[in-house]
Amino acid sequence: MSRPFRFGLNILTLDTGATWRRTCRRAEELGYDVLLVPDHLGRPAPFPALITAAEVTSRPRVGTFVLNAGFTNPALLAREVATTDALTGGRLELGLGTGYVRAEHEKAGLPWGSAGERVDRLTRTVEELGRLLADPAVAPRPAQQPGPPLLIGGNGPRMLRLAATHAGITAFSGVRQAPGRPEGTLELLSAEEVAESVARYARYEEVAGRTAPAERNILAQRVVVTDDRRGAARELAAQGLGLDAEQLLEVPTLLIGTPAEIADQLRGHRERFGFSYITVLDPVMEEFAPVIEEVRRG
């Protein structure tokens, strides 16, 4: 049986406290289920932003999408997570990843390391954080026991194994570093490549002996509401996303068409890939809202 859809909004911009609060209230009105904050220099600090989001809304959960494990250590992170979960009344969902922008680490004076070293760091963080949050002797205590639901985002085999073992939500990135382009420049995986990652992950879940599969998340890198799907795909293909127009019409990281067509895309992606938790970026908050309505009308 398919999981019901959930819709997350990743909020990237903080102008003033008043505009932040208005955005969060509006997202709730439009039907978003989770209000999310990324973890990049130049973007809002995740935990105070999420506490504020929870204070001005009542229904949506709040979450990090995703915290950079290299920006903190497990003891400090456990304190932040427990405090935020307590202050939001147990509405926190904790997303963790390795980070993918070397320049941010260098600017912060933090070690970067190889891809393997970054996965090692994330693994230690996940394991130690889980231990600290579950320990009744460690204060403060989170509202959710033994801690908030854990989302792990990534794409490589080690990341997928880590998620299969520890995460209640697995976020498939659907992108990779674009070869020969500046670090942090991403290109899209094809639908076939995403399907391979999902199949590999499903095998890791079996090996991990899970009693129930994790929820699967995908971030829509672009949402284009249009009456001309193929024309929009041709325009996007010219932007160097790594795929041609026909391939772009199939990938789960691009949503193109009328609200009804996009709703059908999402149903198809849930059937093929298992993606029931869909995240979009805040610039498309309003134009994506009719898609949420279409999906919920059935």
* CATH number for the domain harbouring residue 152: 3.20.20.30
Give the separation between CA 249 and CA 188, rounded to whole angstroms: 12
Is residue 240 situated within a structural domain?
yes
d(CA 152, CA 140): 23
**pLDDT, position 184:** 63
Instruction: Look at the alpha carbons of 268, 232, 23, 151 in this order and tell me if their dihedral is positive or negative.
Output: positive
| Three-class SS state of 57 | coil
Tokens representing residue 41 in the block = 């220099």
Q: Which residue has the higher pLDDT, 238 or 1?
A: 238
What's the domain count of the chain?
1
Q: Is 1 a domain residue?
A: no
Pairing of strands 186-188, 175-177: antiparallel
CA–CA separation, 178 and 122 (whole Å):
23
Omega cis (within 30) before 38: no
Q: What is the pLDDT of residues 113-165, one digit of tens each?
A: 999 999 999 999 999 999 999 999 999 999 999 999 999 988 899 999 999 99
Report the DSSP pairing between strands 61-64 and 34-37: parallel
Of 286, 290, 279, 274, nearest to 37 by C-alpha is: 279
The pLDDT value recorded for residue 222 is 95
Look at residue 230 in the predicted model and tell me its pLDDT: 97
Token code pair at residue 282? 């805040």
Q: 255 in a domain, yes or no?
A: yes
What dihedral angle (degrees, nearest 10) is formed by the CA atoms of 80, 82, 85, 89? -130
| Structural domain of 37 | 6-297
| Domain-embedded: residue 221 | yes
Percent of the chain's residues with pLDDT above 90: 90
Residues 6+ apart with CB under 8 A from 56: 21, 24, 25
Residue 233 belongs to a domain: yes
Answer yes or no: is 190 within a domain: yes
pLDDT tens track for 25-71 = 999 999 999 999 999 999 999 999 999 999 999 999 999 999 999 99
Domain-located, residue 167: yes
Question: pTM for the complete prediction?
Answer: 0.96
Domain annotation covers residue 60: yes
Are residues 236 and 222 in contact, defined by beta-carbon separation less than 8 angstroms?
Answer: yes
Q: 13 phi and psi, to 5 degrees? A: -120, 135
Contact between 11 and 49 (Cβ < 8 Å): yes
